[in-house]
């Protein structure tokens, strides 16, 4: 068992939930994670994450979505310092020096927010600004339900990556 998990397993529930909250942004998810302790290893942690995700309702997902900055930005109104640092790292490939690309990304983000009422969520790690913009434009064609499901799946993927980073910290 990693030192991080061993220490986390011993924390009081509230503190344990607060510690993993930056990995997802949903208080309900963090509480569900803390309730599944003790967790032995990374494989069990990721399985616990998936289990916690299956129990989330729409308002929990929306809370998680609000913890993310727009693509191309590094701070959202509700993210922690750890979450902000992870967002910057995750979006590194989305950075573009091309002013036209920046404008298209800004306009597409605005269109998405007007259409769906929330920030565009994508697991941006390893993706270029062109790939992200293509995904954003493609997902603008989704219906509300399909897009909510897609955003939740992207959030789950982001959470997995962040849990792995948390374990290695």
- Active-site positions read 68
Beta carbons within 8 Å of 144's beta carbon, 6+ residues apart: 116
| DSSP-derived secondary structure letter, 12 | -
| Strand runs labelled E in the chain | none
Question: How far is residue 141's CA from residue 125's CA, in Å, rounded to a whole number?
Answer: 23
Q: State the sign of the Cα–Cα–Cα–Cα dihedral 136, 137, 143, 144.
A: positive
- Cβ within 8 Å of residue 115, ≥6 positions away: 140
């Amino acid at each position: 068992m990693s030192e991080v998990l061993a220490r986390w397993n011993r924390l009081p529930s509230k503190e344990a939930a607060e510690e993993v909250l930056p990995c997802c942004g949903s208080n309900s998810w963090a509480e569900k994670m803390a309730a599944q302790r003790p967790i032995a290893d990374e494989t069990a942690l990721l399985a616990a994450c998936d289990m916690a995700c299956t129990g989330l309702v729409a308002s929990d997902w929306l809370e998680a979505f609000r913890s993310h900055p727009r693509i191309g930005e590094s701070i959202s109104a509700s993210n922690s310092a750890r979450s902000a640092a992870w967002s910057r790292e995750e979006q590194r490939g989305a950075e573009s020096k091309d002013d036209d690309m920046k404008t298209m990304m800004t306009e597409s983000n605005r269109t998405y927010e007007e259409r769906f009422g929330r920030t565009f969520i994508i697991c941006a790690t390893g993706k270029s600004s062109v790939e992200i913009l293509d995904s954003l434009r493609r997902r603008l064609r989704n219906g509300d339900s399909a897009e909510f499901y897609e955003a939740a799946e992207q959030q789950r993927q982001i959470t997995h990556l962040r849990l792995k980073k948390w374990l290695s910290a």
